[in-house]
Structure 1
């Protein structure tokens, strides 16, 4: 899932994944993984990364990106 976020943004920005800032500089990626795949997954997770508001919500299409720049 974490890689999906990075690849999706790289695609929108028409750049390589390697050119994006590391996701761990914006959010604790271990905590994110636990919130998404743990025994009791969160209903909705929101955070900012690379000029986008990332919304992870199963009921809203799982991965939603809103530009903030």
Structure 2
């Protein structure tokens, strides 16, 4: 006899968290792309994109609420 699996407890990420992280990723990609187009190396552009994405998370968390 097999028992039924327990029902799911809820979503893995809330809608708010998913929206904040997705928006931060888009901001990071845009900033990295624009930085790369100015003539900066790819490594510098990636680092700039990561920093801008990470810095935008707390701001987006308070703005999207």
Could you state the TM-score of these two structures normalised by the residue count of structure 1?
0.34
Task: Looking at secondary structure, tell me which structure has more strand per residue.
Answer: 1
Query: Which of the pair has the greater relative contact order for Cα pairs under 8 Å at 6+ separation?
Result: 2
Q: Which has the larger radius of gyration?
A: 2
Task: Looking at secondary structure, tell me which structure has more helix per residue.
Answer: 2
